Amino acid sequence: MFSKFAFALLVLSSLVTAHYTLPSLIAGGNVETQWLYVRKTNNFNSQAPVTDVTSNDLRCYNSETHATASTLTVSAGSTIGFQANGPMYHQGFVNVYMAKAPGNVSQWDGSGKVWFKVHEIPVATDGGNTITFPATNIQSFTFNLPSSLPSGQYLIRAEQVGLHSASTFGGAQFFLSCGQLNVVNGGNGNPGPLVSIPGVYTGNEPGLLINIYWPIPATWTQPGPSVWRG
């Protein structure tokens, strides 16, 4: 007989595996150890997303763990990325932000109007016939840091935003984490535009309050500022 206890374990297991985290940086083609260079997020066990865009947890999601991490040294212009602990299967998009620490990044929380976007993977639409999600069912992504990125220590923050429940306010689900970088061989670029997190979103953006099923959206507007490419 299938016991109530076994059923409860099955339900708990399905809840734990229902979402995902972003625990690993990728640098030089290497997937780094989970939570080594990424601050352990509150959901490292539950894998529950952030849904309140006004919460400080939208920044690095470590209000309970109070975690910092080791700092990974990389060169400006090099390839960097994130790997999730499983396929990011919710339909959605990716944004990646960075913020330059005023000193030791391990002692900084990333508050203030200091964040700029360095990468995005948008949703694709074709006038209302189809909608596709290149950031869905992938486990990792990489991109090149701008070669003119100034040297220094940075937080790098990735978010994969699930839109499957985004037809109501607060339904968008943010799966996110912050890594720590020491950028060397940098340039003299001026990253921007700068935004605060939280503060960058209201939750009413057309890319966050959206029914992705019907009618099929004819256009797509990526939430957040434009990408700084150096």
25: closest CA among 140, 115, 117, 144?
A: 140
Q: What percent of the chain has pLDDT over 90?
A: 92
What pLDDT is recorded for position 154? 99
What pLDDT is recorded for position 113? 98
- Extract the tokens encoding 111: 């508050």
pLDDT above 70: residue 131: yes
CB atoms within 10 A of CB 160: 26
What pLDDT is recorded for position 204? 98
The CATH architecture to which 24-196 belongs is Distorted Sandwich (2.70)
Please report, for the chain, how many H helices and E strands are present, in that order: 1, 12
Task: Please give the average per-residue pLDDT across 188-208, as a whole number.
Answer: 98
27-78 confidence digits (pLDDT tens): 999 999 999 999 999 999 999 999 999 999 999 999 999 999 999 999 999 9
Q: Per DSSP, what are the bridge partners of residue 26?
A: 31, 81
Geometric angle at alpha carbon 66, from 63 and 72, rounded to 5°? 120
- Extract the tokens encoding 45: 């066990």
Domain boundaries, given as residue ranges, for the chain: 24-196
What pLDDT is recorded for position 33? 98
224 vs 212: CA distance, rounded Å: 19
173-192 confidence digits (pLDDT tens): 999 999 999 999 999 999 99
